Structure formats: C-alpha cells, structure tokens
Structure 1
C-alpha cells in the first residue's frame, strides 16, 4: 500500500501552508478584529454548530459519564505525551532551548516510568509541560496574524494559526518515526481527549454556543482574546530571544 503522508509530502504540505499564510496575511491589529470573510465564516460556524448538536455534544456527554475519571486522565496524559515531540521541535525553532530540554525530559520520563505517558510522572518530579505549536513559532518569527477564519470541525482560528496547524500535522515527529497504523494512536487518543475536554467545559461552551445572542461573534471574540494573550504571555520567559533585538542596545 502506498503511504499518502510520506516525509516529502508532509514537507510539501508544510511549505504550501506557510506560502498560503504569507499570501493572505495582514499586519497584527492588536485588539481589532480582522474578519473579511465573515459571511463564509458564519456559514462554517453554523455547520460546526450543527455538528456539535448532533454528534460532538452527545458523544462527549456519553464519554464523560461512562468513562471513569482516572481513565480519562490517563487518556489525556497519553495524548499530551504523544504531542510532546512536536512541542520540542517548535521549542527548537523558537530558540527556546531550555523549554526544548524540559519537554524532552518530560517525554523520556513519562514514556518510560509513566508507562508510555499513561501517568504524568514528570509533573510530579517538577518538570511541567511547556506546550506550544507552529502557530506560536510563526508568531515568534514575526509572521502576521492574518485574518480570522472558522475551520470545519476545528472551529475558530486565524490564517497564521491555520497554517501552523497544517505544519504541525505534516511534520509531527511521531508520524515520521512510527509507521502506520501505529502512528495513528496519537490521533485516536487526541480525539478521545477532545471529547473529554468538551465534557469538562460543557457549561462554558454551551453558554457561548447556545445562550449567546450572537454565538459567532462571541466565539470569535473569546478565541482572539485567548490566543493573543497566550502568545504574548509566551514572551515572558527566560528562554525568549528576540531575533530582531539590537544586541548592543544597552550600550548605546
């Protein structure tokens, strides 16, 4: 059988994603909302809302009420552990070597002592997670945010974050190192954990999607605020290196 996602194909997808981002990007607008495709976005939002009503919410409720809490935590731990190599790759691309070493240590500890990530032993040892993604890598290298976009199934995003998702999917080290079908384990655990997250945050999500006067505008506002806060907060760490900073500024 021919493997669709060969390393060359994944690399091509990554480069295409970045190219598309550059084509549609606009400068960061701070607290302003750049939504030139609102009509299309609202149509996709409506489809996602219908999907949540008919599938995601019922399945997440069944998952949350039938799967014991310890098992849910184990599934979440495995999903997080399998995403850690991607975090390490992005840490290196962001020149955050301390976080790269931290995430590498977490992966090694949880993959061995933690029984393939089932138990988060690393956190108990004082090695917290430092999650990131290629969208943050693009932000780090000053790629503009671009316009707001609603993706099918995934939901709120921006052109920069959407390109980052594509690159993360294409260049995930686990997918490159582990042959199919074993490489799909991470996806299975990730989807299961997504249902668990939907269940644990049901009150907030339902209030936004079903109790707001305009669920599209409310979801857009919350996403942009949270994403921008997350990215700007990531700059406040000892590993942060500004590639455009004047190294001699303090001596002028």
Structure 2
C-alpha cells in the first residue's frame, strides 16, 4: 500500500519540460529543509565527522566502510533480481559470499583482489526506473538530503528489502546500520573540503547540491552524459549531506 500511494503521488512534470530539466515544484519547502539540514550539519554532523576521521586510523575507517558495503549487497542482489538482471545478481552473490567468508564479513575486500567484477550496488529507486516509473519532483529530505519522489519511495522500500534484516537476530541485525553511520561520518570528515565548498562556499548551496545530485543519479541510471559531475561523496545512505544519485 505504501508503494502504491508513493508512486501515485509522484508529480508529473508539465508538458514540454525537457527531460534533463529540473522539476522542482516544492522549491520553497525544499529550501526550508535545506536550511535545517545545513544547521544540523554545521552543529553536529560536520564536527562529528571531522573528529571521527581524525581520531580513527585510515585503515580502520576503510575496513568499516567495506564491512558496511558488504552488508548492503543482499539488498542489491534482491533489486537486481527485481530488475531482471540475473548476471548482476549472480556477480554480487559471489562477491558477497567470498567477502563474507574469506574476507571476514567484508572487512577485507578479497573479491576485488581476486579480480571479481565490481559490485552493482542496485537500489529500489533504480528498480522503479527500470520498471518505467517517472522520476517525479525533486525533494530534499530531512537528514538524508537530496532525493526525488521516486527515490524517496525507493529509500523506504529498501529498508525492507535486505534479507539480512530478517535472517539475523538482534543485536546482530543492527550491525549494518551502525557500520553505515560510522562510514558516513568517516566520509563527512574525509571529504570535508569538497562538501564544505558545496554547502558553505557556493553562491546557492541548494541549487548546487540539487544539480550535483541529479547529474550523478541520472548518469548512474544510464540517461546522463559522460560529462556528469563526479562527486566523491555520493552515497545517500551515509549522511545528511552526501550528494547522491537519480534520474
């Protein structure tokens, strides 16, 4: 029911709007949320991220990031299956199996050392795109940052599409969430200069973050250009201010 309501609510762009244009009918509300996110980042997230990155050794930060990503692969496998991409599902399954066993839960990326294909990192927003669901309007979410109506529905559904959530008992089923938060703080600290330049040094941080997000997301979904902005901090699951992806 949530999925049906969410998809039905996706706003339709006006006729004649170019496919690569920004559809932002909620700009006033989005800018209010953006200001809230900025204040939260300035007061809590940035100081915590910078402090975390300075305190925790780089090797440990890398290991936590790999562990968090490995625990997200079952979600990617499910979405690849839903997209009918069995090759991607198989590749991610092998990668997850190798890194979860030989790589000690993903702490070590043995799969890459064995020259296995890179992870596909599929999500339900991408699945909806494959199914032909329109992008909808641009929205900025509290804490999570830039998104679209379609990707917002995808974020909610992805909460329930990782099989590990149902297989692992408590507190083990929270390890992925804790690792993701830790990895997000690490990225906020490591890429502080880049993120700060967008959020605090640009003439219009809202427009800048919006542009970076949409370019990266559309490029990932296959309808962008090779010149899309390559942002080093683009995973929506990591922090309030990463600048993620979508069509």
- The aligned residue for residue 33 of structure 1 is 22
- 2:220 is the counterpart of 1:230: yes
SS at match of 2:140: strand
Q: How is 1:61-76 mapped onto 2 (pairs within 5 angstroms)?
A: 61-76=50-65
Distance 2:54 2:44 in 1: 16
Q: Which runs of 5+ in 2 are unaligned?
A: 225-247
- Could you tell which deviates more after superposition, 200-209 or 46-55? 200-209
Say if 2:61 and 2:183, in contact at 8 Å, map to a contact too: yes
Residue 112 of structure 1 and its aligned partner are, at CA, apart by 0.4
SS at match of 2:221: helix
- The aligned residue for residue 114 of structure 2 is 125
Any runs of at least 4 consecutive aligned residues in structure 1 with deviations exceeding 3 A, and if so which? Answer: none
Deviations 1:67-118 (A, max 9, x none): 0011011000100000000000001011111110000001100000001111
- The aligned residue for residue 80 of structure 1 is 69
Residue 171 of structure 1 and its aligned partner are, at CA, apart by 2.4
Q: Tell me the matched-pair count.
A: 220
- The structure that has the greater radius of gyration is 1
State the TM-score, normalizing by the size of structure 1.
0.84
Distance 2:155 2:141 in 1: 11
Distance 1:58 1:203 in 2: 13
SS at match of 1:170: coil
Deviations 1:48-81 (A, max 9, x none): 0001001110011011111001101100010000
Residue 18 of structure 1 and its aligned partner are, at CA, apart by 4.2
- The aligned residue for residue 102 of structure 1 is 91
- Aligned-pair RMSD on alpha carbons? 1.5
Return closer, same or farther for 1:231/1:217 CA change in 2, 3 Å cut-off. same
Q: Which runs of 5+ in 1 are unaligned?
A: 1-14, 235-252
Deviations 1:127-151 (A, max 9, x none): 2211110000000111000000000
**Higher normalized helix content (fraction of residues):** 1
Q: Paired residue for 2:192, among 184, 187, 202?
A: 202
Q: Which has the higher contact order (CA 8 A, sep 6+)?
A: 1
- The aligned residue for residue 190 of structure 1 is 180
- 2:27 is the counterpart of 1:20: no
Say if 1:123 and 1:129, in contact at 8 Å, map to a contact too: no
Say if 2:125 and 2:151, in contact at 8 Å, map to a contact too: yes
- 2:166 is the counterpart of 1:176: yes
Return closer, same or farther for 1:152/1:17 CA change in 2, 3 Å cut-off. farther
Say if 2:49 and 2:189, in contact at 8 Å, map to a contact too: yes
Residue 233 of structure 1 and its aligned partner are, at CA, apart by 6.2
State the TM-score, normalizing by the size of structure 2.
0.86
